[in-house]
Amino acid sequence: MEPLDFANNCLEEAENWETLMFLYDAALRQVVTKIDILNGEFAHVHRYNPIEHVKSRIKEPQSIVKKLKRQGHEVTLENMLKYIKDIAGVRIICSFTSDIYRIADMLAQQADLKVLELTDYLAEPKVSGYRSYHMLVTVPVYLSDGVVDTKVEIQIRTIAQDFWASLEHKIYYKFEGNAPAFISQELRDCARIVSELDAKMLSLNEAIKQCPKEE
């Protein structure tokens, strides 16, 4: 069952909205639980935690409205479901770039997660310098009268990439997407430095693993 089909069983627009938010929240909690279990299993088997921490959120109503208007769409529940992919979002922060693909593979192998889209901004960064790995998935939300497949966007990035993305986010909203040229250039320079740092940290970690333990 699609989310809007379930929500349309309600009579009022406000009730539809609350129902949809309930579905996204339920899907979000399921994905976060899956990630926590996978991280625990990985630590148990390999004695190593690939995940530093996990953040999750439901997109604020005003952010949804702004995004729809920015894209030139009428503000309706139908358009929200059709065009806004990150209403429910999970961000996984890891130490090394190699962990990003490892975590993505672990999630893709989950039988009840359906991968709709993969966007690799590590291999092809945005013009701004943004790097991250995005997965758009659906997770089944089991209700008393049926199952509703609900979308969740998962972003996977390193600590350094997350720090950079946090600053870019602040700059974007301060200047409404039209930052001064010198700030945009500085941000791209920082993205290059972050990429170099991630590569060096990964190389150092690999070297450490090759060193024999001291008695």
Cut 0.85: pTM above it:
yes
| Residue 110: predicted pLDDT | 94
Domains for the chain: give ranges and CATH numbers. 3-160 (3.30.460.10)
Tell me what the pLDDT averaged over the chain comes to.
90
Print the SS3 string covering the chain. CCHHHHHCCCCCHHHHHHHHHHHHHHHHHHHHHHHHHHHHHHHHHHCCCCEEEEEEEECCHHHHHHHHHHCCCCCCHHHHHHHCCCCEEEEEEECCHHHHHHHHHHHHCCCCCEEEEEEECCCCCCCCCCCCEEEEEEEEEEECCEEEEEEEEEEEEEHHHHHHHHHHHHHHHHHCCCCCHHHHHHHHHHHHHHHHHHHHHHHHHHHHHHCCCCC
| Residue 6: predicted pLDDT | 54
pLDDT tens-digit profile of 9-53? 543 455 688 889 999 999 999 999 999 999 999 999 988 889 999
